[in-house]
A and B are shown apart, each in its own frame.
Chain A
Amino acid sequence: MTAYKKLTLTEPELVLALQSKDPAVLKTLYSMYSSALYGVISRIITHTELAEDVLQETFVKIWQSAAHYDNTKGRLFTWMMNIARNLSIDKLRSKDFKNSLKNQDIENNVSFVDEQNKVTFNPDVLGVKQLVENLKPDLQAVLNLVYYKGYTHVEAAEKLNLPLGTVKTRIRLAIIELRRSFN
C-alpha cells in the first residue's frame, strides 16, 4: 500500500480504508482510539477482564459493521463510542456478567455482595479528570453518568432525583463548558 498510512489519519481516509477492509487501518484505528474507547468501557465495567473483552468485541463489531457506518449521520468516533457503550451496557445486563460475579471464591462472598451493589453506580468515584475547573460538579455528575456510566438521561434523572428537563439542560451546559475549554 502507500505511505499515507500514518499513525493518525484524517477521518475520511480512515473511513475509506475501513470500508475497504484494509487490515492496516484497523491497526491505525486501534492505536488512535482504543484507549479513549477503553476509558468509557472500563468505567462502565469495572471488571478488567470483562472490560477488555468488551473492547475486543467493540473492535470486532467496528470491523464487521464498517459498511453500516454513514458519515452523514455523525463522526466516526461517535459511531465507535456508541458501539462501545452499547456493548458495555449489554455486557453489564448479560448473564455473562452476572456469572462472572458469581464465579467468586467462597471466601469472597462479602465482596460479591459489594460487586452486586456496584451495579448501581456511584458517579463520585468515576475517576474522571476534572478537565474544566469551573465546570460545576452537578453538571459534570450528570454528563459522566450518561457518558461514562451508560445511563440514559431518564435513568440519570431518576438517580439524581431531578426533573428530566433539568438533566437535559445540565448535559447541554456541561458539554458547552467542554467545548469552551477545548477551544
Chain B
Amino acid sequence: MNVENLKAYIESGVLELYVLGDLSPEEALQVEEMAAQYPEVKSELTAIEIAMENYAMENAVAPSADIETKLFEKLGLGKNEEVEAISTTPAYTEEAKVVKLDNSDSKVRTLRFALVACVALLMISTGALFITYNKLNAAHDQIASLNLDKEKFAGVVSKLEFDNKGLDNMVAMNDSKEWATIRMAGQAFSPKSKMNVYWNKKDKSVLINYVAMDLPKADAEHEYQLWALVNGKPVSLGVFGKTDSTSTEALQKMQAIQDAQAFAVTLEPMGGSVNPTMEKLAVMGGV
C-alpha cells in the first residue's frame, strides 16, 4: 500500500469506527492487520483511542458508592474495604499480618537459638579476653626489663665512646712530637694513683686526659688541682673534675705554662686553693 492509499485508508473513518466498536469482526481483523503492518495506522488508532478516553473522562458520571462493594462481593473477593488499592499503602496488608503470625513460632525458636549462641559467644569472648589480659601483663613486664637493659647498654656504650675518644687523643699525642707526656706517679697520699699531663712544646698549652688518670674519687666538697712547679714554686693550672666524670670531652684544657720543671696534683677544697695542700699531694712527675 502506497502513501496515498494509506492516507485515504486513514481518512476513510474506519479507524474511528474500530475504536467505537462499530465494525464487523472481519472488518475489525483487517484494521488490526493494517495497524500491525503500518505504524502510521497504529499511531492514528492510538490518538483516536486517547481522544475518546479523554472524552469519556470528561463526561464521567459517578455511580452509587455501594456498586463497588457489591461488585467485590459478587466476585468473591471479600469485602471491598479489605482490598486496598489506594496510594502508597501496600496492598494485602491483612495477608502480610497473617504470614507474620504463621511464622511467629519458628521466629521464637530462631530467637532462642540466637540467644544461646550469644551467651556461648560471650563466654568464649570473656575467656579470650582473660588470656589476652595475662599475656598483655607479661608483655608489659618484658618491656620494662628490656628498657632497663637498654638503659644499661646505653650507659656502657657512652662510657666506651668516652674512653675511646680519650684513647684516640692519647695515641695522637704520643705520635705527635709537639706534645710532651709527663707521667705523674702516686705519692704518699695515694700511692696507687697515676696520671698523665700533656704539655705542648710550642704554644705551652696544658691538657689532661680523663682516660689517662687513675685518682681516688673526690668527695662532694673536694676537687683536684693541677700545679706546675716553676723554679721550686707551685703555680696553679686550674682545677678539674672527678675522675669518673662523664662529660663528653675526655680532654680538658688547663692553663698554659711557659716553663715548668714538674707537675703535681693535690686534692683541694671546692674551687681550689692559692697554695697546694702538700699533705694531699696525689701524684707528681717531673718533666
Contacts and interface: CB of A to CB of B under 8 A. Distances in A.
Given A75-B46, A82-B21, A128-B59, A24 B85 contact: yes
B12 interface: yes
Contact of A172 (B11, B53, B78): B11
Interface stretch (A95-103, A104-112, A116-124, A146-154): A146-154
A153 B17 contact: yes
A74 B45 contact: yes
A178 B67 contact: no
Interface residues of B toward A: which range?
35 or more
User: Quick one: which of B11, B49, B57, B61 has the most chain A CB within 10 A?
Assistant: B61
A40 B92 CA distance: 32
Given A60-B75, A178-B54, A168 B63 contact: no
Given A7-B86, A36-B57, A78-B52, A59 B63 contact: no
Contacts, number: 158
User: Quick one: which of B72, B75, B85 has the most chain A CB within 10 A?
Assistant: B85
Interface in B220-274: none
B91 A175 contact: no
Interface residues of A toward B: which range?
35 or more
Contact of B12 (A34, A168, A179): A168
A22 B63 contact: no
Contacts of A39: 56, 59-61
Nearest to B80: A27
Contacts of A75: 46, 49-50, 53
A73 to B, nearest CB: 5
A35 B16 CA distance: 23
B137 interface: no
A168 B275 CA distance: 148
Given A24-B92, A35-B63, A175 B84 contact: no
User: Quick one: which of B48, B56, B67, B78 has the most chain A CB within 10 A?
Assistant: B56
Given A27-B72, A27-B84, 17 more contacts: A3-B89, A24-B84, A24-B85, A26-B77, A27-B85, A30-B68, A34-B68, A35-B61, A36-B53, A36-B56, A36-B57, A38-B63, A78-B49, A153-B20, A168-B13, A179-B48, A182-B50
17 contacts: A5-B84, A24-B85, A24-B92, A27-B72, A36-B56, A38-B60, A38-B63, A39-B60, A39-B61, A63-B75, A78-B49, A129-B59, A152-B22, A171-B16, A175-B48, A175-B51, A179-B48
